[in-house]
Structure 1
Amino acid sequence: MPEVTEPYKPGTPCWIDLMVPDQQAALDFYRDLFGWQGEVGPPETGGYAVCTVEGKAVAGIMAAMSPDGGPTPPTVWTTYLATADVDATVQKINAAGGTVLMPGVDVTTIGRMAVAADPTGGAFGLWQARDFGGAGLVNEPGALLWNELVSTDVKVASAFYAAVLGIEAAPMEGSEGYFSLSVDGRAVGGLQGVEHLPPGTPSHWLVYFAVDDTDSTVDALIRAGGNVLVPPFDMVAGRMAVVQDPQGAAFAVLKPKPMTTG
């Protein structure tokens, strides 16, 4: 179901957010591109904006801040994986060779979060839900559709996420070199290597948004100052493209093929 009413199982991508130099410009861009509604939040949340579609939360956008005068964080979409216990998962990350970038911290009363990187360098967030469970709408135009780990070492990454969050990787039928990531037997994301990508591509999590029309969405993105990394093309799941917003954050858009029954 596009509307999410049940808690996300541990290991499942449950939320995404974007850290950008110009928060209002990003809010305007994604409003025009996907129809999101959102505004700068209150000071006690650092101005964090929760964007909605049909009144349901789909993503967060916040202004990038330099911690203690350090370098400004990169402009990227972050995938958050659900966990029942952030602190216990952080311990597993350390034991499995990952790197904790931000230890567990409470976010008012809505949950507890941390940020880490797997042993190949792929950064991700952890979310322990309390008052806020995560995305309330998925698999609908303008909402999150898929989360994909692109890794410089598929074998190492697979072992890490299995040990830390119980995520199982298995070859995806009909897609050579592509793996499904599953939780309790249900596919929740994908995994692929960097062999077919430009040399030097680092490990990263890529977010996919569902759209009604990939080509017209890309055209609108270009008019709004975005950049096309991979032009629209047809693939096993539908028609997709990989793009950047005007501030450099990469993401994919995909018009899924209709589901067939029978």
Structure 2
Amino acid sequence: MLRKIDCVMVRVDDLETASQFYGSMLGLRPLWRDDGSVGMGLPETDAEVVLHTMDLPREWGVHYLVDDVAAAVSAWREGGCVVRKPPFEIAVGWCAVLEDPFGNPVCVLDLSKGTRATLPSVR
């Protein structure tokens, strides 16, 4: 079901300050930006660090890519597991938060709407 880590969500108070810090101190590069988030690229993976100002619980940091969120949620329920947050729409597709038997969130997303457009300066 899980294909890879798609992104790590990091809650920040100021996107500009955070993107400058993560760029200059950690070597990440901005990939895309919207009103509430900035996708930052790591040099050796296509997984992103997404700096955001959204009101999401901090424990929902790691998001795994799946082919289809609705199918993943259905399989999870059929396996008798808890769905903490049912599928909800996001800019690139759908997201849901599952819960493992130990109470940990398992955030899944799909790219059913496609990936975000990269910033012009990023190649």
TM-score tier by shorter-chain length is 0.5 to 0.7
Deviation at 1:101, TM superposition (A): 2.5
Computed over aligned residues only, the root mean square deviation of the Cα atoms, in angstroms, reads 3.0
The 5-angstrom pairing of residues 1-262 of structure 1 reads 10-24=1-15, 25-38=17-30, 41-43=33-35, 47-53=36-42, 58-65=48-55, 73-74=57-58, 77-80=61-64, 82-108=65-91, 110-130=92-112, 131-132=114-115
Question: Which AA in structure 1 matches 2:99?
Answer: A
**Structure 2 stretches of 5 or more lacking a match?**
117-123
User: How many pairs were matched up?
Assistant: 112
Deviation at 1:125, TM superposition (A): 1.5
> What do residues 110-144 of structure 1 show as CA deviations (whole Å, max 9, x unaligned)?
222212221112212212223129xxxxxxxxxxx
Are the aligned partners of 1:20 and 1:75 in contact in 2 as well (CA < 8 Å)?
no
**Equivalents in 1 of 2:81, 2:20: separation in Å?**
35
**Equivalents in 1 of 2:74, 2:90: separation in Å?**
20
> What do residues 71-94 of structure 1 show as CA deviations (whole Å, max 9, x unaligned)?
xx22663131x3222112112222
TM-score by length of 1: 0.36
Are the aligned partners of 1:27 and 1:39 in contact in 2 as well (CA < 8 Å)?
no
**Equivalents in 1 of 2:67, 2:25: separation in Å?**
34
- Highest Rg: 1 or 2? 1
**Taking CA–CA contacts closer than 8 Å with sequence separation of 6 or more, which of the two structures ends up with the larger relative contact order?**
2
Going from structure 1 to structure 2, the CA distance change for 1:15 and 1:23 (only over 3 Å counts) comes to farther
> What do residues 25-70 of structure 1 show as CA deviations (whole Å, max 9, x unaligned)?
4433322332112388333xxx12111256x66321211416xxxx
Going from structure 1 to structure 2, the CA distance change for 1:38 and 1:78 (only over 3 Å counts) comes to same
**Equivalents in 2 of 1:76, 1:115: separation in Å?**
8
**Equivalents in 2 of 1:114, 1:48: separation in Å?**
19
Stretches (4+) displaced over 6 A: none
**Equivalents in 2 of 1:107, 1:49: separation in Å?**
15
% same residue:
20
Are the aligned partners of 1:36 and 1:53 in contact in 2 as well (CA < 8 Å)?
yes
**Equivalents in 2 of 1:84, 1:39: separation in Å?**
22
**Equivalents in 2 of 1:129, 1:40: separation in Å?**
15
**Structure 1 stretches of 5 or more lacking a match?**
1-9, 67-72, 134-262
Question: Which AA in structure 2 matches 1:125?
Answer: C
Q: Secondary structure at the match of 1:129?
A: coil
Q: Secondary structure at the match of 1:93?
A: helix
Going from structure 1 to structure 2, the CA distance change for 1:19 and 1:116 (only over 3 Å counts) comes to farther
